[in-house]
Structure 1
Amino acid sequence: MGAKLRLDGRVETLAVSSVEAGRDDIGGVELLAEIREAHRDWINAQYHFEQAVGSDQIDYAVYAIEATQRRYEMLLRQAKRLGTASPEWKGGIPR
């Protein structure tokens, strides 16, 4: 299941994560992968904002930043609640 978005004439399909689909039973490894993906999506949304031209593109980019940031924060809260940890996070944000 996914949502399709149109940006600069391209159609992008966004995957719906198991967390967004209402599943709380995902494992720690899968959750960490979703957190990495959400962080990457957030960074990409910020890049699109920097490249936006015109008020419609800027409005869309702001919306995308807010949405991706909220997803990232939601996943981090879930990881904290589940006690999920990764040794590679010791230096900060996952890569």
Structure 2
Amino acid sequence: MEMDDKLQLMQEIERAHMEWVTAQKRLDFVLEKEQIDYAVFALEAAEKRFEMLIKQAKNMKLSAIEVNRGRVMEG
């Protein structure tokens, strides 16, 4: 796997993690049934995306250290 592909995957994992955390926090502020339904749906979708990307990284033999290093390189 090329370094650009690894970096791109690491950045996607970081974005997916941030989306998941945001979706978790959104649940703290919803009040109406429709908002709750949407917040739960968004949380489940964000969690599935994050899990899918982590599985892809594992299949590509990317380690957590490389993913964390990608966060440092990006930021």
Smaller-chain TM-score bracket: 0.7 to 0.9
Equivalence for 1:88: 68
Equivalence for 2:72: none
Q: 1:67 aligns with which of 45, 60, 69?
A: 45
Identify unmatched segments of 5+ residues in structure 1.
1-24, 90-95
Aligned length: 65
TM-score (norm 1): 0.63
Superposition CA RMSD, Å: 1.9
Name whichever structure is richer in helix by fraction. 2
Equivalence for 1:52: 30
Name whichever structure is richer in strand by fraction. 1
In 2: Cα distance, 1:83 partner to 1:60 partner: 34
In 2: Cα distance, 1:70 partner to 1:33 partner: 17
Identify unmatched segments of 5+ residues in structure 2.
70-75
In 2: Cα distance, 1:49 partner to 1:57 partner: 9
TM-score (norm 2): 0.79
User: How do residues 18-29 of structure 1 correspond to structure 2 at under 5 angstroms?
Assistant: 27-29=5-7
In 2: Cα distance, 1:77 partner to 1:54 partner: 34
Percent sequence identity over aligned pairs:
37
